[in-house]
Amino acid sequence: MRRDYGFLVFCFLMATLSCAAQNSIPSSAHNQNLDAALPQAHVQNSSANIATLPTDEATSNSNVYTLPPDLLAKAITLTRLRAILSFGGTAWSIAVLLLALALRWPARLRDWTERITRRRWLQGLLFLPPAILFFIAMSLPLEIYSQHVERAYGLSVQSWPSWTGDQCKAWLISLVVFTPILLLMFWIIRKSPQRWWLWFWLCTLPVIVFGVFISPMWIDPMFNHFSPLEKSDPQLVVQLERLAQHAGLEIPPSRMFLMRASEKVTGLNAYVTGIGASKRIVVWDTTIQKLPSDEILFVVGHEMGHYVLEHIYKGLVFTALVLLVLLGLTYRCVAWLVHRYRAQWGIRGVDDWAALAVLLLAFTCFSFLFSPIANSFSRWEEHQADIYGQEAIHGLVASPRMTAQKAFVALGSVYLEAPHPNPWIEFWLYSHPSISRRANFAAHYDPWLAGRSPRYFSK
């Protein structure tokens, strides 16, 4: 179950100032839990390949989530690939940007635009589209390899022509959205060389909110098919309405949607997305096909936790604060880099179109360094939603603890998450607690015992 706003907002930040979009690499380990931004790996849904789960729900065994030897070997290999692709994607983006600057490609593109017209806004319209396409395309080799890994591990069933079509649509959206945004940024730089980062930050805030609002209605349907959940599975809707009433929520069926994920992927997922009138809960059809109803209730209960605890709004505020810091650091770093390497890179100043590559370079580096902070915040929100989901299904299922355990174990098995990830990798890359941590917590969390009390519900 992913929080779609987090992925969207982070994509906006990275694409606005670093079109390399380092977070677009789908094989990072941090994307594979209940709110996975992108699907990861898949294993066949057979009893022989399902991770083991203790039958005694009162067990104190800390290894609630385990994998059989064959799947464990695959999970370890895949976890390493995800980490390599995540760190390697950032390193690759930085290397390509440095190479482009060393070869003075941005300066040459700027010179070409200046030979065509003296009007600055026309120069921007000539310079920015090819620059954006270049900075996006430089991550294409890693994205192709990531798709290959997904197909090799059974994650993806999407054909290469379909995948290519999705990439082209994403590129077109990037051109339409980010060309005017970057035009605005350079206009602000020229008008306020010392405070451009602050004014640009203020301008991006309504754009981010608007993007989160329209994404479920206009952007997401360009890549996946959505339909009202009550039309495809009315019985599940009745159960979900009961869950919502139990949680004291009013989430009408019109806010519940089914996404036809099986056309492209084989993983399990559900998520909450949008704000205001566009807010909705989305359940993948693969989740309905592969999980029993009790576990689906927990999955959706987790999503309701995001809904009730206002994680979208908290995430937007957190993102805005992080963006302010990143832009401030980028401003200082770019000014020094342009002054230091002006001659070598052929850049005249920060307001030079060619300085875009320097802005992207600095922002990419600072974004990478801030990744643990952003992921720590996300893990905190996810843990809150896990607690809420487990408390929400109390009284609706036979054993909330066992139900939550089984849901996490099934998820970890499908996405091949290693039971014992490297703590440093988990700290830096994981936007969710590891499956082991989540399953272990679920196994021992029972706030209805004597002397305990639920966090979000009355006893």
Please give the pLDDT value at position 389. Answer: 95
Query: Which stretches of 183-230 are assigned E, i.e. beta strand?
Result: 226-228
pTM tops 0.95: no
Please give the pLDDT value at position 446. Answer: 93
Predicted confidence (pLDDT) at residue 41 exceeds the cutoff of 60: no
In the chain, what percentage of residues exceed pLDDT 70?
86
| pLDDT band at residue 277 using 50, 70 and 90 as cut-offs | confident
Backbone angles phi, psi at 30, to 5 degrees: -75, -5
| pLDDT band at residue 100 using 50, 70 and 90 as cut-offs | very high
- The order of strands in the sheet holding 226-228 is 2-3, 270-273, 280-284, 256-259, 226-228
How far apart CA 74 and CA 71 sit, in angstroms, is: 5
**Do 291 and 407 touch, CB atoms closer than 8 A?**
yes
Predicted confidence (pLDDT) at residue 292 exceeds the cutoff of 70: yes
Alpha carbon of 15 to those of 83, 89, 200, 389, 399: distances in Å?
21, 14, 15, 33, 44
Please give the pLDDT value at position 24. Answer: 28
Average pLDDT in the chain: 85
pLDDT digits (tens, 9 = 90+) for 159-168: 999 999 999 9
DSSP letter assigned to residue 153: T
Alpha carbon of 180 to those of 16, 111, 447: distances in Å?
10, 21, 52
| pLDDT band at residue 384 using 50, 70 and 90 as cut-offs | very high
Tokens 């996946």 — which residue? 224
CB atoms within 10 A of CB 137: 15
10 Å CB burial of residue 129 (0-12, 13-18, 19+) is middle
Can you tell me the mean pLDDT for 299-327?
92
How far apart CA 210 and CA 248 sit, in angstroms, is: 28
295 is catalytic: no
Alpha carbon of 348 to those of 1, 107, 190, 358, 402: distances in Å?
47, 9, 13, 12, 63
How far apart CA 326 and CA 285 sit, in angstroms, is: 38
pLDDT digits (tens, 9 = 90+) for 352-375: 999 999 999 999 999 999 999 999
Please give the pLDDT value at position 246. Answer: 83
Instruction: Report the amino acid identity of residue 13.
Output: L
pLDDT digits (tens, 9 = 90+) for 66-97: 889 988 999 999 999 999 999 999 999 999 99
Alpha carbon of 320 to those of 13, 16, 325: distances in Å?
10, 14, 9
Please give the pLDDT value at position 359. Answer: 96
| pLDDT band at residue 35 using 50, 70 and 90 as cut-offs | very low
Q: Which two tokens stand for residue 331?
A: 């401003």
pLDDT digits (tens, 9 = 90+) for 46-65: 333 334 444 444 444 457 89
In the set 143, 230, 295, 303, the catalytic residue is 303
Instruction: Give every CB contact of residue 302 below 8 A, 6+ residues apart in sequence.
Output: 1, 34, 35, 270, 385, 386, 388, 389
Can you tell me the mean pLDDT for 166-172?
95
